Amino acid sequence: PDVDGGHSKCEYDEQEAPPQEQQKEEAPAANAYAEEMTHEESPQVEETDSYETVVNESSDRGICARALYDYQAADDTEISFDPEEIITGIEMIDEGWWRGFGPDGHFGMFPANYVELI
């Protein structure tokens, strides 16, 4: 019985080898799936690249924008600025409203359409 047990173990070992080879063949399929996901994500990556470029140009100040118009804060949660002034450290919290540091150093919200990213 010991010899048969040992012999059958050898047969099992031989049978275990082909499934490992099959797993290797399946690996490219997994890579192909990863490539498909990369292609699906590429438009999102392109969008973030433009923001990353802005951040890299002035990494100490974060995302920056130049004021196009005069804006006066309605309360303490907003910032005031004049045309051509720079807003730094911008957080794009909403499509219409962003937060950042105004020229006076005060941090607050402001209308996004009053500025242009630089």
Give, for all 118 residues of the chain, the pLDDT tens digit. 555 555 545 554 444 555 555 444 444 555 444 444 444 444 444 444 444 444 444 457 899 999 999 999 999 999 999 999 999 999 999 999 999 999 999 999 999 999 999 9
Q: Are residues 53 and 76 in the same domain?
A: no
Q: Tell me, what CATH number does 100's domain have?
A: 2.30.30.40
Q: Are residues 72 and 38 in the same domain?
A: no
Q: Which residues contact 117 (CB under 8 A, 6 or more apart)?
A: 54, 63, 64, 65, 90
Where does the chain have alpha helices with state H? 2-57
Residue 47 has what DSSP assignment?
Answer: H
| Three-state secondary-structure class, residue 97 | strand
pLDDT of residue 3: 55
> Cα separation of 29 and 89, whole Å?
43
Q: Which of 20, 39, 57 is the last residue of a domain?
A: 57
CA-nearest of 117, 24, 27 to 67 is 117
pTM of the predicted protein model: 0.50
Domain count, the chain: 2
Q: Residue 28's CB: how many other CB atoms inside 10 A?
A: 9
Q: Are residues 29 and 70 in the same domain?
A: no
